[in-house]
Amino acid sequence: MAQYKYQLEESDIPTQWYNVAADLPTPLPPPIHPATHQPIGPEALAPLFPMALIEQEVSSERFIDIPDEVREIYKLWRPTPLYRAHRLEKALDTPARIYYKYEGVSPAGSHKPNTAVAQAYYNKEAGVRRLTTETGAGQWGSALAMACNFFGLELKVYMVKVSYHQKPYRRVMMETWGAEVVASPTSDTHAGKAILEQDPESPGSLGIAISEASEDAATKDDTKYSLGSVLNHVLLHQTVIGQEAMKQMEMAGDYPDVVIGCVGGGSNYAGLCLPFMRDRLVGGKGTRFVAAEPEACPSITRGEYAYDFGDTAETTPLMQMHTLGHTFVPPGIHAGGLRSHGMSPIISKLCADGHMEARAYHQNGAFEAAVQFARTEGILPAPEAAHAVRAAIDEALAARESGQRSNILFNLSGHGHFDLAAYDQYLSGKLEDYAYPEEKIKEAMAGIPKV
């Protein structure tokens, strides 16, 4: 009998996070000050983050212990299952073996609680009373709302306006866990007011919401800010995914030839792929790494690897990353979690150094893959994760063409139960594809700082 599911024990939950910075052949370019262009010190981040997280952000320790309190909460849904997609393989008539790690079993429905719980813990330890954050599709806000609730922290979520209206149920979920949720841009902050003066109808963007949430935190003593992707410490916390997947692939008796994930800011994909990337960087394995992004927000495939701000109001340090320009406002595609102008510095560097490739997909192609996945494997992927499913199916079809067996591993970062309006549009033929116009990209790129 074929085995479909590889399930670990609680005791297999990793006890340490893996920090790829220790194994990069050349160091990550440091974050720099926007005016002086000098590397910033930890104190520059102190108004926003507790020191324990800042230390992780700049750490070059290979393994960092996971606090017991965090691991206890992980036990509510970890270890997550790894599946072999036998039914999808059969439907595709491919010699490839398709494996996927499923992070949608967390209470918030995605991988995001892996870092939300850790961040809430370190803030609580540091005596912080209240957190602020931004959320795109609402997945990050939900994860952090749950985590703050566990640790008795208050939370205000600046939710990108287009998602606030598209996904009312995500707001209700955050409110159920006790968070306050507002539609960004708001008139509660200087950054929000400035945007509304220029464009009262602004649909919002992650960049704008980040400006609002970070201003709120930086101007209050008892408040800190929390980011759900992009930063090194966020990617670090997600590496529980890949460490578990390595054990599960061993149970299956296979090693992946290609590791795939969707990328918004890069955290779920980094979480799955970095432990395998270590085998490539220091073990000399020839594994391929494929990051799947949307055509509507193609930061790796069409952006530039350059120093840029993380936010629209130009308040953050500059980071070297693949960027579409910090003034970029992507169209309101359904994969709200993939609407970030900037890619994580770690993922960006791995792409720039040739260890990873990126591919961009239209949302109709992604939903076509998601529906085929749902009809064979049962699970309805989140629209973000649908991009990874598309890339995995394309790899499996290429294997059919070439007749070569390959082992494909991808991250199914979340379920799509709050995205049924998007499925409805796809199924009724009303979903539109947007490729971001070249002139618009040029326009936003003209605004990145000259370093």
Ligand X SMILES: *Cc1c(COP(=O)(O)O)cnc(C)c1O
Nearer to ligand X, 124 or 362 (CB): 362
For ligand X, the binding residues (CB under 6 A) are: 110, 112, 139-140, 229, 262-268, 337-338, 382, 384-385, 413-414
Nearest approach in angstroms of CB 143 to ligand X is 8
Nearest approach in angstroms of CB 220 to ligand X is 26
Nearer to ligand X, 97 or 207 (CB): 207
Nearest approach in angstroms of CB 414 to ligand X is 3
Nearer to ligand X, 116 or 131 (CB): 116
Nearer to ligand X, 97 or 171 (CB): 171
Nearer to ligand X, 207 or 264 (CB): 264
Nearest approach in angstroms of CB 269 to ligand X is 6
Nearest approach in angstroms of CB 403 to ligand X is 32
> To the nearest 10°, the Cα dihedral for 59, 144, 316, 66?
0
Give a three-class secondary structure readout of the chain.
CCCCEECCCHHHCCCEEECHHHHCCCCCCCCECCCCCCECCHHHCCCCCCHHHHHHHHCCCCEEECCHHHHHHHCCCCCCCEEECHHHHHHHCCCCEEEEEECCCCCCCECCHHHHHHHHHHHHHCCCCEEEEEECCCHHHHHHHHHHHHHCCEEEEEEEHHHHHHCHHHHHHHHHCCCEEEEECCCCCHHHHHHHHHCCCCCCCHHHHHHHHHHHHHCCCCEEECCCCCCHHHHHHHCHHHHHHHHHHHHHCCCCCEEEEECCCCHHHHHHHHHHHHHHHCCCCCCEEEEEEECCCCHHHHCEEEEEECCCCCCCCEEEEEECCCCCCCCCCCCHHHCCCECCHHHHHHHHCCCCEEEEECHHHHHHHHHHHHHHHCCCECHHHHHHHHHHHHHHHHHHHHCCCCEEEEEECEECCCCHHHHHHHHCCCCCCCCCCHHHHHHHHCCCCCC
Cis before 185? omega within 30:
yes
Which residues, other chains included, contact 387 with Cβ-Cβ below 8 Å and sequence gap of 6+?
262, 292, 293, 294, 335, 338, 361, 366
Nearer to ligand X, 319 or 338 (CB): 338
Nearer to ligand X, 262 or 274 (CB): 262
Nearer to ligand X, 234 or 246 (CB): 234
Nearest approach in angstroms of CB 408 to ligand X is 18
Which residues, other chains included, contact 311 with Cβ-Cβ below 8 Å and sequence gap of 6+?
191, 207, 208, 210, 211, 214, 326
Nearer to ligand X, 18 or 399 (CB): 18
Nearest approach in angstroms of CB 111 to ligand X is 6
Nearest approach in angstroms of CB 106 to ligand X is 10
Contact between 409 and 245 under an 8 Å Cβ cutoff? The reply is yes
Nearest approach in angstroms of CB 114 to ligand X is 10
Nearer to ligand X, 139 or 189 (CB): 139
Nearer to ligand X, 329 or 412 (CB): 412
| Region label for 181, one of left (φ > 0), alpha (ψ between -120 and 50) or beta (otherwise) | beta
Nearest approach in angstroms of CB 38 to ligand X is 28
Nearest approach in angstroms of CB 112 to ligand X is 5
Rounded Cα gap, residues 164 and 183, in angstroms: 6
Q: Which residue's Cβ lies closest to ligand X?
A: 414
